[in-house]
Amino acid sequence: MRILSTAFRFREVPPMNTVLYQFLIEVPQAAAIWSALLVLALTTLAVLVARPERDRPAEEPSVAELAATEAADLHRYAEEVAVAAGGAAQTARRRRAEWLATQEAVDLAWQAYDEAESAARRFAGAAALPAPRTPRTPAEYAARERWLHQAVMAAHWRGELTARQVSDVFGRRDGWDPRRHPADQEIVLARAVRDGKLAVYRTASERERSAWRAAELAAESARALSAEAYAAAERLRRDVVVRPRAVAVPAAPAATATRWRPARVG
């Protein structure tokens, strides 16, 4: 029993040689790590001290540099506005030419409508007369249809009827009846031509109003850009005149050495 207790105590307490060995191994490792960290810190500090210009803030521009930059910006802005004003003036002239063309188209459309209206009024007066009596035979109806088709095609080639209206005539749509007497057909044809000319005049009038609005907007834009270009040019001119210039100051004359002269004896 005494031998067993002695062995048990020997297992609980680590031997002194083991503790001394761990101390001798771990302490040099820690010292090496700290030495490496210290060397790295000293190296970084030395680099920062050797090149301090990287950490210095950029120098602020001088008054002359600021004035030159401002003058360059003003000159560039004046050029850009002048180019924009020139383009706007060209657009305004083009829009005005388009408006004048649409105005001429309106005048022509009104003249055509006035002539068609006069013709329709003349045929309306003739409508009060009774239509001549003709035998209502298949041959008569065929002759009436041929007359209507010829009259409609002639009006179409003159530009008085559209292709859609001609299609309605041949298709017997929109009130077209080839069985009517040619006298009645002339009245219907004159009214159709008048209504078509009126529609053309209204379309031309709407286009003229749109072109006028576009011309007015283009002219207003051109005037505004022209005024802005003139103001920018004036600012640039004043900047060139008022800008302080470096005046060369003449150097002071060198002081000449005064030579002492004896006074003359009279």
Residue-range domain boundaries for the chain: 64-132+181-240
Which pair of structure tokens corresponds to residue 165? 């209206």
Average pLDDT over residues 20-41: 62
The answer on pLDDT for 30 being more than 80 is: no
- DSSP class of 122: H
Angle at 79 between CA 75 and CA 84, to 5 degrees: 145
Read off the pLDDT of each residue in 93-118 and give the average, rounded to a whole number.
Answer: 94
- For residue 18, is pLDDT > 90? no
Fold classification of 64-132+181-240 is Helix Hairpins (1.10.287)
Look at 80-84, 123-127, 180-184 and tell me which has the smallest mean pLDDT: 123-127
pLDDT in tens, 191-231: 999 999 999 999 999 999 999 999 999 999 999 999 999 98
Q: What is the pLDDT of residue 131?
A: 59
Q: pTM, whole model, 2 decimals?
A: 0.57
- Above pLDDT 70, what percent of the chain? 64
Residue whose entry in the numeric block shows the structure tokens 């790295």? 40
pLDDT digits (tens, 9 = 90+) for 44-67: 666 665 555 554 555 667 777 777
Residue with the two structure tokens 């640039």: 236
Helical H segments across the chain, by residue range: 2-12, 16-50, 63-126, 138-157, 163-170, 182-242
Average pLDDT on 107-125 reads: 88
